[in-house]
Amino acid sequence: MGKRTVLNVWLAIALLVLVWVVWQEPGHATKPAAVKLTALVPATIGKIVIGNRSGAITLVKQGAEWELVEPVTIAANPARIENLLQVAQAESVSRFAAAGLDLAKFGLSAPAVRLRLNDTELLFGAVAPVDQRRYVKVGDTVHLIADNYMYDLGAAAAAYVSRDLVPHGKNIVALELPDMKLSRGAKGEWVATPAAQGVSQDALQRRIDEWRDAQALQVAPYDRRPEQGAVVIQLDGGQAPLRYGIIARRPELILARPEIGMQFHLAAEQAERLLETTNPAPAAAAKKN
């Protein structure tokens, strides 16, 4: 082995040693795993109970779908549920034992929100004045987490209602509008009553599809305005018909379900596609998520 080769080997060894030394410096130590707010895995959560200023809200997983069961029973908004499930795995930035503390100083003696995920209770208190992180008590520990969750946790029950006008996966078998009823004929075709002259089968099918795919922009508590008409939707499976009272068309279309105390707000331009009995134009609206 020549002198140059030996020199190159020693230089390579020296370089490896230098890299190892640098890597062992404190700044290059392996970062410890983040501490999570709870040990719960979101996929294993099957029940969510929220207590906030609006009252009690209970959500239960039924198979693959979530349902709001308190204060009313109706399909739940999946986007809101997903946000709630992420709370379980929120990063605990810092934490300390709750024993011996004056919990009132942290807003935890009368928490703004009580959240129960399965059997684990989380109490949401005040925001720390220095870093604007939220105090959350879980068991005997007070955690500080990023304040990203109170928008959903502080919402009223209406925010957790699915925005779908027709439940996901259900098909319409009859549709009664203020001026026309659509039902299946002997050959499976759509029949309009009274007969709609010049309205094609494709147009009638589009009307059905519009209702099947329609989503509200917002769900709000029912404000008890007088009705201007009603829509009745018969679904497959033999369940009770859905009835929507039309309480406004402008500046937005508002459809109410008084029996559950909710109303569904849609864009005004959807009124023509959903309610008018003339040949409906093909929809440009996005399909359900």
pLDDT at 174: 96
Torsions phi, psi for 32 (to 5 deg):
-65, 150
122-157 tens-digit pLDDT:
999 999 998 999 999 999 999 999 999 999 999 999
User: Residue 216: pLDDT band by 50, 70, 90 thresholds?
Assistant: very high
pLDDT at 177: 95
pLDDT at 284: 46
> Which has more confidence, 198 or 53?
53
User: Residue 169: pLDDT band by 50, 70, 90 thresholds?
Assistant: confident
End-to-end CA distance of the chain: 69
Residue type at position 86: Q
CA 274 to chain centre: 25
pLDDT at 33: 78
Q: Report strand pairing: 55-62 vs 47-52.
A: antiparallel
Owner of token pair 């039309």? 246
Summarize the confidence of residues 180-187 as an average pLDDT.
Answer: 92
Residue type at position 258: P
The two structure tokens encoding residue 145: 């987490």
For the chain, the average pLDDT equals 88
Neighbour-count burial of 173, counting CB atoms closer than 10 A to its CB (0-12 exposed, 13-18 middle, 19+ buried): middle
The two structure tokens encoding residue 251: 């500046």
Give dist(CA 177, CA 271) in Å, integer.
Answer: 12
Give dist(CA 183, CA 181) in Å, integer.
Answer: 7
Query: Are 182 and 192 in contact, with CB atoms under 8 Å apart?
Result: yes
Residue 19 clears pLDDT 70, i.e. is over it: no
Query: Are 42 and 89 in contact, with CB atoms under 8 Å apart?
Result: yes
253-272 tens-digit pLDDT:
999 999 999 999 999 999 88
> Could you tell me the CA-to-CA distances from 96 to 88, 139, 191 in Å, in that order?
18, 11, 68
Residue 287 clears pLDDT 80, i.e. is over it: no
Query: Are 285 and 211 in contact, with CB atoms under 8 Å apart?
Result: no
Give dist(CA 199, CA 207) in Å, integer.
Answer: 11
pTM of the model: 0.81
Residue 200 clears pLDDT 80, i.e. is over it: yes
Residue 51: partners with Cβ closer than 8 Å, 6 or more residues away: 57, 113, 114, 115
Summarize the confidence of residues 88-100 as an average pLDDT.
Answer: 95
Torsions phi, psi for 112 (to 5 deg):
-65, -35
CA-wise closest residue to 222 among 258, 189, 248, 187: 258
Q: What percentage of residues in the chain have a pLDDT greater than 90? A: 74
74-87 tens-digit pLDDT:
999 999 999 999 99
Helix (H), strand (E), coil (C) string for 119-156: CEEEEEEEECCCCCCEEEEECCEEEEECCCCHHHHCCC
